[in-house]
């Protein structure tokens, strides 16, 4: 079995602070070793893309950052994930508080069967938000570039919106609890090109304030929106490993690993 | 290469279609005959006084008031005991319990319980509630016995409904920092209401028509007063009907048919209200 060398970490992450870091992160689903020894430093207020072919474990890695894998009973992790210096799997870490500070947007838009307003207000409500809810809802919808489209139908069901609007509603919902990090799991893969473009534009705007980690198997998207790119690949054993990580421009123009080059030039995957 | 049996396949296809239609018609026809027969026997004696009179030695003066009120009491108390218990048990089994050998055993037992003949529950109720707990032949004993009978059905249906809530909805809520109980209360239970209601409708409809367990625990058949509290003696529609049918006088048989009509109306309107409520909550929760 070929063991990969530890990924080449670029010491310089564009002058940004580190928001999240994984250290030799491993995850098993039952006996299946899904990802092995992922060591990754995610810079704050940048977009970091996780790319790789289907089944390489990129979504699994993403779901380690907010402990979403806790919900899968047979999932087990080793190694460390540090968020602002704290081990998120440690005894002091609270997954509920963690998930408030690390929001998530899913592949398929999944608004609640509630009104547009209640979709956005849900997170603040359950987290005991005491401020002015109307203002917070408006602010969140504005940040998600959705306010102008829905300001007259806040009481309508969130499910009555178009797919692209639903996804931006989900982004607004995630932003409403004022997270520091936004995890996006192929946020545009279920959307048409125009809706996709809007989501990408939004990501570029949001990175001024939020750390964004996006999983995508659309390489153009990764090259358009991300500042850093991590390439994951599953070996013969179907276990995902980090092949290469660095500034997006470098990974796409001068990949260090020939498998990265093969993937981004479309020779497999 | 093909046998060219198109004609034969068409015929057998047609035949199958007719068989299915015939089977459907059989069910509908039996129901129609039953309804017509009951209506013909019972409508002449069905009147306002029939609804407001107590039972009597004379068929013409017999009424169903005590049985109707008894049944309404019984079903309300049963729902009061069975719905929270059934739903809470389903939530535990579906959302909290770790899946393993023990949970499979419990699951199997609940499915079996749902299939136990009702008279067995009657015997249990007689021993447990009437005698051991000393509740006597009261509404309370009847309702608790009925609750035992319907809880497994509610659990099974509620679990189905909980399981049908998409994973994406749970994940969305957890990802916002919801605790498990918040996810259950705010997301999962509201979405499971329509399916759970179906189970509740079905099980309560079964309970309102049940006779055997009530006879076993000794519900009375001749009551000329209305129950004032859950500790009072009572009678119920099926028991009253059973009693009238077993009388030798033909007059009582007609009264029994009227009683059946009342029972059917109660049952259908219960179902109607619940179905309306279910559809309303389903419309609100398009997903």
| Domain coordinates in residue numbering, chain A | 18-107+181-264
Does the structure show a pLDDT above 70 at B27? Answer: yes
Contacts of B281 (CB under 8 A, 6+ apart): B190, B193, B194, B197
Least confidently predicted of A93-102, B93-102, B112-121, B154-163: B93-102
Q: Round the CA-based radius of gyration of chain A to a whole number and report it.
A: 18
Q: Test B175 with A99 for CB contact under 8 angstroms.
A: yes
Q: What is the pTM of this model?
A: 0.82
Return the pLDDT at B53: 79
User: Is a pLDDT exceeding 60 seen at residue B286?
Assistant: no
Superfamily per CATH, domain A18-107+181-264: P-loop containing nucleotide triphosphate hydrolases (3.40.50.300)
Q: Do B172 and A177 touch (CB under 8 A)?
A: no
Interface test with B, best of A66, A123, A169 (most B CBs within 10 A): A123
Residue A201 CB coordination number (10 Å)? 13
CB contact under 8 A, A170 and B284: no
- pLDDT tens-digit map of B173-183: 999 999 999 99
Instruction: Give the mean pLDDT of chain A.
Output: 89
What's the pLDDT tens digit per position in A9-51? Answer: 444 455 568 899 999 999 999 999 999 999 999 999 999 999 9
Provide the phi-psi class of A52: left if phi over 0, else alpha when psi is between -120 and 50, else beta.
left
B182 vs A126: CB contact, 8 Å cut-off?
A: yes
The Cα angle at residue A253 between residues A247 and A257, in degrees rounded to 5: 80
Chain A environment of B166 (Cβ under 8 Å): 110
Please report the pLDDT score of residue B103 as a whole number.
Answer: 84
The distance of A62 to chain B (nearest Cα, Å) reads 12
Average predicted confidence (pLDDT) for chain B: 87
A100 → closest Cβ in B169, B177, B191: B177
Q: Is A112 on the interface with B (CB under 8 A)?
A: yes
The pairing of beta strand A47-51 with beta strand A228-234 = parallel
Q: Is A266 exposed, middle or buried (0-12, 13-18, 19+ CB in 10 A)?
A: exposed
Interface of A with B in 6-25 (CB under 8 A): none
């Amino acid at each position: 079995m070929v063991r990969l060398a530890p990924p080449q970490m670029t010491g310089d992450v564009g002058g940004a602070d580190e928001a999240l870091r994984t250290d030799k992160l491993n995850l098993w689903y039952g006996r299946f070793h899904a990802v092995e020894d992922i060591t990754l430093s995610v810079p704050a207020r940048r977009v970091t893309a996780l790319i790789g072919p289907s089944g390489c474990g990129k979504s699994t890695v993403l779901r380690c950052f907010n402990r979403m894998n806790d919900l899968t009973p047979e999932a087990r992790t080793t190694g460390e994930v540090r968020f602002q210096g704290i081990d998120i799997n440690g005894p002091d870490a609270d997954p509920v508080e963690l998930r408030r500070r690390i929001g998530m947007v899913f592949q398929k838009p999944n608004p609640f069967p509630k009104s547009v307003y209640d979709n956005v207000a849900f997170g603040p409500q359950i987290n005991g938000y005491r401020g002015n809810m109307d203002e917070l809802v408006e602010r969140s919808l504005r940040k998600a570039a959705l306010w102008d489209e829905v300001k007259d139908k806040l009481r309508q069901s969130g499910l009555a919106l178009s797919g692209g609007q639903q996804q931006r509603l989900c982004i607004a919902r995630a932003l409403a609890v004022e997270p520091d990090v936004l995890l996006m799991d192929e946020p545009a893969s279920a959307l048409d090109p125009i809706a996709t473009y809007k989501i990408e534009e939004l990501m570029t705007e949001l990175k001024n304030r939020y750390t964004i980690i996006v999983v995508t198997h659309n390489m153009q998207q990764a090259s358009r929106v991300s500042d850093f790119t991590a390439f994951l690949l599953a070996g013969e054993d179907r276990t995902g490993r980090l092949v290469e990580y660095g500034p997006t421009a470098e990974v796409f123009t001068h990949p260090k690993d020939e498998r990265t080059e093969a993937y981004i030039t479309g020779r497999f995957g | 290469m093909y046998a060219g049996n198109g004609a034969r396949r068409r015929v057998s296809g047609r035949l199958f279609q007719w068989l299915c239609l015939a089977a459907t018609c059989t069910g509908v026809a039996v129901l129609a005959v039953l309804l017509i027969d009951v209506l013909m026997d019972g409508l002449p004696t069905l009147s306002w006084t029939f609804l407001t009179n107590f039972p009597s030695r004379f068929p013409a003066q017999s009424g169903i008031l005590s049985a109707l009120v008894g049944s309404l009491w019984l079903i309300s108390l049963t729902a009061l005991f069975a719905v929270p218990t059934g739903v809470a048990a389903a939530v535990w089994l579906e959302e909290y319990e770790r899946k393993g050998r023990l949970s499979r055993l419990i699951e199997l037992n609940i499915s079996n319980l749902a299939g136990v003949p009702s008279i067995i529950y009657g015997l249990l109720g007689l021993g447990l509630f009437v005698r051991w707990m000393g509740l006597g032949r009261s509404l309370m004993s009847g309702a608790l016995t009925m609750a035992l009978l319907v809880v497994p059905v509610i659990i099974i249906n509620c679990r189905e409904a909980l399981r049908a809530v998409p994973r994406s909805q749970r994940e969305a809520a957890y990802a916002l920092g919801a605790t498990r109980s918040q996810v259950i209360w705010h997301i999962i239970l509201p979405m499971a209401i329509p399916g759970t209601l179906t189970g509740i409708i079905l099980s309560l409809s079964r309970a309102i028509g049940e006779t055997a367990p009530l006879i076993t625990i000794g519900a009375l058949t001749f009551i000329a007063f209305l129950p004032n509290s859950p500790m009072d003696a009572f009678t119920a529609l099926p028991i009253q009907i059973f009693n009238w049918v077993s009388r030798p006088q033909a007059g009582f048989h007609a009264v029994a048919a009227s009683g059946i009509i009342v029972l059917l109306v109660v049952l259908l309107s219960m179902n109607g209200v619940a179905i309306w409520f279910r559809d309303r909550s389903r419309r609100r929760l398009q997903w």
